[in-house]
């Protein structure tokens, strides 16, 4: 075959190959084009955004969702980062039309030479097409579809829009999707706050986000970062000086977990549960932004107050020995490295043959595995001296723990006994021991231990039910059980205000005389005969109602309930927020034997704090969804309003003896309606202003005023006297302690805030013979309320019409004689002013007890 024939053959071969390729491409184009999606749908795609929960004042509480993402608009992205990205990924991005022919050619040559697909020649636009529409399968058909989509995207979207889509979608390791989330994960700040070296580090991550990020592989990540910087220098984005400075910088990236600005994990879980009931798995991807009713100051103070109280209780009962407590042996030096220069605390014994660099590295791993729980954090004892100990805590931080912070650690023997006080630090601590420590402004650094006793605190705005603070235990990280909403515990005497309120509504007065004497109660439902007694074990004889309340005399409460009847009392009490089925149907109700949650008890006290109105506590104020934060729910709670003119609806629902019981019963429902019900079509927010909803009155205003005044006496002269430290004239409340000191309570309020505190063990057992509501729960309440009311004006209730203040004989409860020296003033409803002759006072139970011996038990059936 001559040369002419060969030329013709090659020519037609090339033409055939070209034609065949063209036909193949045309066929593929015609086949795939109809299947391509509408590019405009890219602008409507909702990226997976986690559920985020905030306080009312905008502080982040928690985030739920597998993909951490914070979308940015293009104008929020630093230009230097854009340069770093295109230098690393696609340096001709602003010139090509979506497909880089040079890159594709290079990828094809590599495939021919090696037989393997080493690179796909993808542009940023092609990656957008893949990330939003296609799978990651490495097939030729997917590649052709990717190319066609890229061309179509470039025709319909601007370069800036394409980059915005890419940067918000791309995975960059450590659950971070999008560049803003990556900046937060690796550096703990926004993308706009990063320096050149850090921006280049992030720009290099798309190539291998899991294997080459600066946390998993710092060396490889640094090499990739410097490659990006070199490309930026080559392309003229940075000068030589910028390159040199950035390339020399050390890697400071570390994992920054979710940075909650306020610790509110218990209520965050309540929010998550409510949304999940409605939306299922969409809860974690639609980008819900939930604003709760929590106040960040209140929540922080509640956390600190409860933890402080539990730690104090724990210290008072001694240091529990831990047989399996871990001791780490410091590593001995084998070879000294004279080039290492370290600065240790001056008192540290440098004669010990310890390789401190190696030791601290080992200890740091141990400390990292322990975590931190609010006010306490782990540490390891480095050296023990008579005057204290050197300890090492997080990030190899040295601290001095003085002996004064260890001196409390008497050995725990039982809940009522502790051993001898230690005389030197080594009586308690050993080198290498893992311990817990806490710090306070008053006491400095102190040894601590994770408390066994638990507690709960809930604080509510009584005017409309917003929960301002909720703490369900010492630490959510240790135990997720929410005692504030899930723990049914007997409230003891903290329940008595509701019994006394029922008594005042049914004819008794603060001056009614009730005999404090032994009783015996027999009931077929009880295994043994019930012989209730006062906590002091004494009996006080005829006692005024007011005095019996602030002294918390149990036997008076029982006789009051006997007189008005358990059924009538339950009808009166249940609208306060207590589920009817939880209330005992017998006289044990008078002593708080009906188990309720701290939330339910606090709800009851809101009626006393707001002037007698029924409100329902709630914890979600509004819900927004999506990147546009569309409002889908806005709470519109009922408002207690003393100043408002009583409507027919309100006045018809006054919960006093004269009110129809069927109307009271109609008020009963769940304490907090599920959000799944609230998010109905009727509840979705609209542009129309919400109609103000007035809460129904369930307590006569005069009954309320007298009851509130009696509860103020609990603080002024009764079991709540520790609250006098707040120096306020508008506080009222009641302590509660159950049998064998298994539960300690204090619930108290002013018109601005209701707070209930409970302390006890999860598996009920005694807190100790000296643990009562007044010295265990009340100090926590004082700590919290003192901070919350510090800048609030005193806000007493105005005296309503129909209340009179008259002088009475404190022994008989009747009107005082003229000139009687021991007479006292007492409040009465105008129509209940007592007479001077005892025969005219028919509502007091003492008439039934005149013939009874003071210490002779009365048999109650």
CA distance 532 to 558: 9
743-756 burial by CB neighbour count: b if 16+ within 10 A, else e?
bbbbbbbbbbbbbb
Distance spanning both ends of the chain, measured CA to CA = 127
Which residue is listed with tokens 């400075």? 245
Q: What CATH number did the domain enclosing 385 receive?
A: 2.40.50.140
Both 219 and 103 in a single domain? yes
In angstroms, rounded to a whole number, what is the distance separating the alpha carbons of residues 25 and 104?
15
Helix runs in 33-95, H state only:
79-89
Contact 622, 633 (CB under 8 A): yes
**171 vs 176: CA distance, rounded Å:** 6
The model's confidence at residue 142, banded by pLDDT at 50, 70 and 90, is low
Question: Which range is least confidently modeled, 60-74, 236-250, 268-282?
Answer: 60-74
Q: Which residues contact 355 (CB under 8 A, 6 or more apart)?
A: 330, 331, 332, 333, 334
Sorted by sequence, the CB contacts under 8 Å of residue 1 that are 6+ apart come out as 9
User: Within a domain: residue 567?
Assistant: yes
Tell whether the model's pLDDT for residue 336 goes beyond 50: no
Determine which of 330-334, 368-372, 549-553 has the lowest per-residue pLDDT on average.
330-334
Q: Are residues 409 and 515 in the same domain?
A: no
Domain end residue (candidates: 193, 225, 248): 248
This prediction's pTM? 0.78
Residue 330 φ then ψ, to 5°:
-60, 140
Domain count, the chain: 3
Has residue 266 got a pLDDT over 80? yes
> In the prediction, which pLDDT does 533 show?
67
Residue 677 pLDDT more than 60?
A: no
Tell me the per-residue pLDDT of 590-620, one tens digit each, with 9 for 90 and over. Answer: 999 999 999 999 999 999 999 999 999 999 9
Does 847 have pLDDT greater than 90?
A: no
- Cα gap 544→553, rounded to integer Å: 11
Domain boundary among 207, 231, 248: 248
- pLDDT of residue 31 exceeding 60, the answer is no
Same domain, 431 and 502: no
- pLDDT of the residue at 782: 98
Residue 793 in domain: no
Using an 8 Å Cβ cutoff, are 575 and 668 in contact? yes
Determine which one of 62, 89, 501, 588 is catalytic.
Answer: 89
Q: What does the pLDDT look like over 157-186, one tens digit per residue?
A: 888 888 888 888 888 888 788 898 889 889
- Give me the mean pLDDT over the 56-70 stretch: 83
On whether residue 673 sits in a domain, the answer given is no
Residue 300: other Cβ atoms inside 10 A: 19
Give pLDDT, residue 763. Answer: 94
Task: Tell me, yes or no, whether 390 lies in a domain.
Answer: yes
Q: Residue 659 pLDDT > 50, yes or no?
A: no
pLDDT at residue 47, rounded to an integer: 63
What pLDDT does 686 receive? 46
Do residues 517 and 427 both lie within one domain?
A: no
Q: Residue 481: inside a domain, yes or no? A: no
Whether residues 440 and 533 fall in one domain? no
Q: Give the mean model confidence (pLDDT) for residues 838-843.
A: 42
* Structural domain that includes position 349: 320-335+344-448
Same domain, 118 and 227: yes
214 and 108 both lie in a single domain = yes
Give the model's confidence band at 502: pLDDT under 50 very low, under 70 low, under 90 confident, else very high. very high
406 and 536 fall within a common domain: no
**CATH number, domain with residue 806:** 3.40.710.10
Q: Based on the residue annotation, tell me whether 46 is a catalytic residue of this protein.
A: no
Strands 176-177 and 397-402 come out as unpaired
Assess if residue 324 is contained within a domain.
yes
Give pLDDT, residue 55: 97
40 pLDDT above the threshold of 60:
no
Question: Looking at 393, 475, 493, 501, which residue is catalytic?
Answer: 493
Contact 242, 80 (CB under 8 A): no
Same domain, 417 and 555: no
Residues 6+ apart with CB under 8 A from 275: 51, 283, 288, 290, 623, 675
Q: What was the pLDDT predicted at 702?
A: 97
Average pLDDT over residues 408-413: 94
**Confidence band, pLDDT 50/70/90 cuts, at residue 115:** low
- In this prediction, residue 689 has a pLDDT band, given cuts at 50, 70 and 90, of low
Q: What is the β-pairing status of strands 824-829 and 638-639?
A: unpaired
Distance separating alpha carbons of residues 177 and 70, to the nearest angstrom: 8
Name which of 272, 301, 304 is nearest 288 in CA terms. Answer: 272
Please report the pLDDT score of residue 258 as a whole number. 67
Mean pLDDT within 509-515: 94
Instruction: Answer yes or no: are the C-beta atoms of 803 and 828 closer than 8 Å.
Output: yes
Position 854 pLDDT exceeds 50: no
Q: Give a yes or no: residue 33 inside a domain.
A: no
Residue 557 clears pLDDT 50, i.e. is over it: yes
CATH code of the domain containing 144: 1.10.3810.10
pLDDT, mean of residues 46-50: 70
Do 412 and 503 sit in the same domain of this protein? Answer: no
Q: Is 339 tagged catalytic? A: no
Percentage of the chain lying above the pLDDT 70 cut: 76
184 and 327 in a single domain? The answer is no
Residue 283 located in a structural domain = no
Q: What is the mean pLDDT of the chain?
A: 82
Position 393 pLDDT exceeds 60: yes
- Residues 230, 136, single domain; the answer is yes
Chain centroid to Cα 552, Å, comes to 34
103-117, 284-298, 516-530, 683-697: the lowest-pLDDT one: 103-117
Lowest mean pLDDT among 385-394, 652-661, 806-815, 849-858: 849-858
Query: Residue 521: which pLDDT band, with cuts at 50, 70 and 90?
Result: low
């Amino acid at each position: 075959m001559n040369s002419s024939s060969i030329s013709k053959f090659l020519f037609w071969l090339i033409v055939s190959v070209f034609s065949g390729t063209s036909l193949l491409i045309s066929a593929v184009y015609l086949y795939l084009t109809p299947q391509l999606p509408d590019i405009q749908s890219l602008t409507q795609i909702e990226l997976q955004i986690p559920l985020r929960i905030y306080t009312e004042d905008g502080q982040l509480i928690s985030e739920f969702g597998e993909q951490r993402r914070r979308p940015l608009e293009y104008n929020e992205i630093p230009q230097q980062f854009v340069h770093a990205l295109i230098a690393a990924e696609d340096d001709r991005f602003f010139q090509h039309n979506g497909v880089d022919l040079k890159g594709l050619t290079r990828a094809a040559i590599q495939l021919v030479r090696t037989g393997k697909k080493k690179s796909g020649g993808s542009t940023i636009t092609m990656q957008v097409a893949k990330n939003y529409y296609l799978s990651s399968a490495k097939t030729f058909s997917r590649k052709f579809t990717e190319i066609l989509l890229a061309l179509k995207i470039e025709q319909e979207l601007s370069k800036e829009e394409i980059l915005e889509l890419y940067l918000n979608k791309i995975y960059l390791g450590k659950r971070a999707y999008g560049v803003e989330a990556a900046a937060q994960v690796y550096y703990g700040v926004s993308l706009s706050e990063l320096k050149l070296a850090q921006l280049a580090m992030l720009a290099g991550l798309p190539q291998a986000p899991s294997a080459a990020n600066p946390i998993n592989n710092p060396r490889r990540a640094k090499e990739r970062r410097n490659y990006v910087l070199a490309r930026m220098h080559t392309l003229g984005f940075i000068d030589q000086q910028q390159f040199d400075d950035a390339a020399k910088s050390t890697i400071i990236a570390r994992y920054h977990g979710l940075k909650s600005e306020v610790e509110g994990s218990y209520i965050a879980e309540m929010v998550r549960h409510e949304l999940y009931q409605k939306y299922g798995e969409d809860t974690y991807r639609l980008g819900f932004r939930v604003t709760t009713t929590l106040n960040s100051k209140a929540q922080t103070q509640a956390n600190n107050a409860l933890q402080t109280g539990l730690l104090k209780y724990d210290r008072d009962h001694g240091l529990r020995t831990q047989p399996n407590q871990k001791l780490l042996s410091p590593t001995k030096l084998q070879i000294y490295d004279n080039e290492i220069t370290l600065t240790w605390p001056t008192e540290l014994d440098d004669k010990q043959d310890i390789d401190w660099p190696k030791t601290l590295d080992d200890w740091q791993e141990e400390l990292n595995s322990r975590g931190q729980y609010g006010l306490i954090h782990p540490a390891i004892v480095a050296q023990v001296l008579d005057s204290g100990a050197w300890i090492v805590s997080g990030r190899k931080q040295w601290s001095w723990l003085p002996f004064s912070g260890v001196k409390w650690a008497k050995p725990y023997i039982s809940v009522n006994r502790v051993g001898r006080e230690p005389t030197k630090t080594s009586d308690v601590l050993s080198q290498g021991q893992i311990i817990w420590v806490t710090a306070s402004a008053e006491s400095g650094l102190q040894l601590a231990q994770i408390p066994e006793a638990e507690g709960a605190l809930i604080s509510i705005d009584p005017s409309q039910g917003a929960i301002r603070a909720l703490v369900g235990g010492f630490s959510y990280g240790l135990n997720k059980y929410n005692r504030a909403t899930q723990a049914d515990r007997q409230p003891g005497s903290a329940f008595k205000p509701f019994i006394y309120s029922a008594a005042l509504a049914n004819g008794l007065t603060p001056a009614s005389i009730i005999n404090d004497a032994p009783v015996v109660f027999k009931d077929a439902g009880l295994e043994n005969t019930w012989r209730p007694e006062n906590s002091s074990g004494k009996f006080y004889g005829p006692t005024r109602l007011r005095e019996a309340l602030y002294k918390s005399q149990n036997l008076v409460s029982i006789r009051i309930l006997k007189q008005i009847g358990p059924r009538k009392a339950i009808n009166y009490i249940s609208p306060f927020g207590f589920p009817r089925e939880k209330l005992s149907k017998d006289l044990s109700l008078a002593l708080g034997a009906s188990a309720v949650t701290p939330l339910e008890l606090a709800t009851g006290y809101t009626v006393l704090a707001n002037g007698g109105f029924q409100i329902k506590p709630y914890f979600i104020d509004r819900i927004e969804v999506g990147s546009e934060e569309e409002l889908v729910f806005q709470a519109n709670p009922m408002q207690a309003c003393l100043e408002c003119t009583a409507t027919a609806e309100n006045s018809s629902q006054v919960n006093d003896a004269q009110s129809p019981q069927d109307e009271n019963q109609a008020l009963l429902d769940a304490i907090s309606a599920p959000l799944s019900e609230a998010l109905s079509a009727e509840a979705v927010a609209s542009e129309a202003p919400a109609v103000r909803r007035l809460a129904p009155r369930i307590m006569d205003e005069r009954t309320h005023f007298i009851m509130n005044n009696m509860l103020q006496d609990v603080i002024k002269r009764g079991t709540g006297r520790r609250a006098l430290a707040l120096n306020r004239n508008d506080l009222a409340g009641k302590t509660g302690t159950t049998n064998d000191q298994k539960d300690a309570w204090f619930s108290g309020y002013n018109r601005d805030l209701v707070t209930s505190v409970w302390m006890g063990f999860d598996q009920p057992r005694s807190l100790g013979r000296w643990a009562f509501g007044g010295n265990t729960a009340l100090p926590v309440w004082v700590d919290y309320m003192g901070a919350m009311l510090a800048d609030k004006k005193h806000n007493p209730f105005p005296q309503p019409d129909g209340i009179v203040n008259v002088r009475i004989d404190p022994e008989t409860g009747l009107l005082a004689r003229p000139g009687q020296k021991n007479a006292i003033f007492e409040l009465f409803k105008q129509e209940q002013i007592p007479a001077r002759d005892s025969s005219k006072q028919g509502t007091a139970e003492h008439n039934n007890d005149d013939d009874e011996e003071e210490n002779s038990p009365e048999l109650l059936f």
